[in-house]
């Protein structure tokens, strides 16, 4: 780590280390409120809160918010993993969910699919845990354990704070605190997350915590993904939302170099304002994007149900299930409703007749997908 990059406004201390080799590490100061929110950012904060409030309101207008929430969470899993160099398409993730025994291929190993699937699972588990737990280290560790289950890094103490020194990047551009500082730093961060201090708006507080978590880098692996999942949960929790509707990884991925640099600039220059402004712009962009997607998905639900002239007793729940899992097989429908093969096949054929399902080519067992849901949920804007 080049200590000459750290100026007088750095937000921590440079300490010497001798393992794995002689050098220096950065120990961030506690989030004590030394930074004052820039008044010039108030209009941007107001716009971000308004967009986020509209998005949260959408989730309260439908009987089952999970129908719209699950596609957003899966998209978040794909984007967050992509930042770390794990590239998986929506079709690959959904096929893995449908059949985790997918054969390995050279270009798309199952390990990548499992990593993205784990992220989505950890995000959902974290949201459920927040119904019983506060924002705390226990919750963070449990999410990390789920994230690392059965994938690369599973031998790096899943669910436990690191006991060794790590560095970010092969060149060691940034070296996080020594391992013996991690526990105390995370305890301080836990206290800050749950404090009743009103110095910062809850949205701004979430951005500060995200920086601090990444600066501490408490795990041997998976810190970026856990940190971004925690950010989504924290925004929802601190703003009192019923579910975590906002996911920023797609924005961070689009502006990946800026995302990394702005976090680094806090450590080296104390530049909090640029980081908070960047995140607020991300909230506005992603809130508006999710508002559009949720509106279109809701419209699809209405249209799908209206298309079917002679529905069976299972047609409605089968259509609803397509928004969470837009790939289906006859055996899956059999299991879903406890019916025989031919009845499940007829249910799928009914949805095919009205253009709701299409068959994927060269798949065994025969696999069907909802093209319109896939397009709305996962395709990017031009």
Structural domains of the chain, with CATH: 3-293 (1.10.3290.10), 309-378 (1.10.10.10)
Question: Does a cis peptide bond (omega within 30 degrees of 0) precede residue 381?
Answer: no
d(C-alpha 224, C-alpha 230), whole Å: 10
Q: pLDDT grade, residue 381 (50/70/90)?
A: low
The predicted structure's pLDDT at residue 101: 64
For tokens 């993993």, name the residue: 81
The predicted structure's pLDDT at residue 68: 79
pLDDT at position 8 over 60:
yes
Question: If you average pLDDT over residues 203-216, what whole number do you get?
Answer: 97
The predicted structure's pLDDT at residue 382: 43
pLDDT winner (highest mean) among 83-92, 154-163, 208-217, 364-373: 208-217
Question: If you average pLDDT over residues 319-340, what whole number do you get?
Answer: 94
The predicted structure's pLDDT at residue 330: 95
CA neighbor of 195 nearest in space, from 207, 216, 181, 209: 209
For tokens 């596609």, name the residue: 71
pTM: 0.91
Token pair listed for 322: 């397509």
d(C-alpha 139, C-alpha 10), whole Å: 30
d(C-alpha 335, C-alpha 163), whole Å: 45
Q: Which residues contact 86 (CB under 8 A, 6 or more apart)?
A: 112, 115, 116
d(C-alpha 337, C-alpha 350), whole Å: 16
**How far, in Å, are 14, 171, 213, 259 from residue 83 at the CA level?**
27, 18, 17, 10
Residue environment code for 42-67, b if the CB has 16+ CB neighbours within 10 A, otherwise e? eebbeebbebbeebbebbeeeeebeb
Question: If you average pLDDT over residues 146-156, what whole number do you get?
Answer: 79
Tens digit of each residue's pLDDT (9 = 90 or more) over 98-148: 877 644 443 445 678 888 999 999 999 999 999 999 999 999 999 999 999
pLDDT at position 65 over 90:
no
Instruction: Name the 3-class secondary structure at 260.
Output: helix
Instruction: Name the 3-class secondary structure at 373.
Output: helix
**How far, in Å, are 26, 77, 171, 195 from residue 231 at the CA level?**
22, 13, 27, 17
């Amino acid at each position: 780590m080049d200590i000459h990059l750290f100026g007088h406004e750095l937000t921590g201390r440079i300490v010497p280390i001798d393992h794995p080799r002689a050098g220096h590490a950065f120990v961030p100061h506690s989030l004590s409120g030394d930074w004052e929110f820039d008044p010039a950012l108030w209009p941007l904060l107001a716009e971000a809160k308004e967009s986020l409030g509209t998005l949260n309101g959408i989730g309260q207008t439908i009987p089952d918010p999970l129908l719209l929430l699950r596609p957003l969470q899966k998209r978040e899993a794909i984007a967050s993993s992509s930042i770390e160099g794990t590239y998986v398409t929506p079709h690959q993730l959904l096929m893995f969910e449908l059949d985790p025994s997918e054969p390995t291929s050279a270009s798309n190993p199952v390990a990548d699919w499992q990593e993205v699937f784990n992220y989505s699972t950890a995000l959902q588990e974290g949201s459920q845990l927040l119904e019983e737990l506060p924002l705390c280290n226990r919750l963070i560790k449990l999410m990390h354990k789920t994230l690392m289950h059965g994938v690369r890094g599973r031998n790096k103490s899943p669910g436990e704070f690191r006991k060794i020194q790590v560095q970010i990047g092969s060149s060691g551009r940034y070296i996080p605190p020594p391992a013996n500082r991690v526990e105390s730093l995370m305890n301080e961060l836990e206290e800050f997350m749950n404090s009743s201090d009103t110095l910062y708006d809850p949205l701004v507080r979430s951005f500060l915590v995200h920086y601090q978590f990444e600066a501490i880098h408490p795990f041997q692996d998976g810190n970026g993904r856990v940190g971004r999942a925690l950010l989504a949960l924290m925004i929802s929790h601190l703003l009192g939302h019923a579910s975590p509707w906002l996911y920023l990884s797609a924005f961070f991925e689009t502006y990946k170099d800026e995302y990394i640099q702005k976090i680094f600039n806090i450590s080296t220059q104390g530049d909090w304002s640029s980081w908070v402004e960047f995140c607020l712009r991300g909230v506005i962009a992603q809130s508006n994007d999710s508002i559009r997607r949720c509106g279109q998905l809701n419209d699809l639900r209405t249209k799908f149900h209206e298309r079917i002239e002679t529905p069976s007793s299972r047609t409605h729940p089968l259509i609803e299930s397509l928004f969470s899992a837009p790939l289906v097989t006859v055996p899956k429908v059999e299991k879903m409703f406890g019916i025989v093969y031919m009845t499940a096949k007829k249910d799928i054929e009914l949805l095919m007749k009205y253009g709701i399902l299409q068959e994927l080519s060269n798949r065994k067992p025969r696999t069907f997908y909802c093209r319109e849901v896939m397009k709305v949920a996962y395709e990017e804007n031009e």
